[in-house]
Amino acid sequence: MKESISKELLSEVLGHKDTVDSVKYSTSYANMELGILYKKEYESYNLVDCINIYELAHKCKEWAWHQGFSIRSSVFTEGSSIKGKVDLLENYTRSFEPVYGDTEPEAIFKACQWVLDNKDK
């Protein structure tokens, strides 16, 4: 699994504008099996924190909602693999091409990255 999220998107979703310095996928950290490990600046200190991958995916959906987008995520099988799919809708009126990922969280992160990159257009 390679769920990935940009540090810019993670900053937006967590509300730490411009404070996330680096992001790394972690298979185990602080009793979490799957998580995103990130380094942030806090009052002139560099701190390392971790968030569960599924909790982060949910927060991303909430963030997209506040940007005027609805994310409907699902999983499907492709051969022996389970993949993720996202249907992205803007204000329930305009739909976009589905977004796919190796996992459901990865598809959510890709869709939210698109929203971040295009929200001012």
Beta strands in the chain (DSSP E): 20-26, 35-42, 45-52, 69-78, 81-90, 94-95, 99-101
Kindly list the domain boundaries of the chain, sorted by start residue.
7-118
pLDDT at position 1: 46
Range 43-50 average pLDDT: 70
pLDDT at position 100: 93
Contact criterion met (CB below 8 Å) for 58 and 92? no
Residue 56 has pLDDT above 80, yes or no: yes
Sign of the alpha-carbon torsion through 73, 113, 11, 38: positive
Residue type, 1: M
pLDDT at position 83: 92
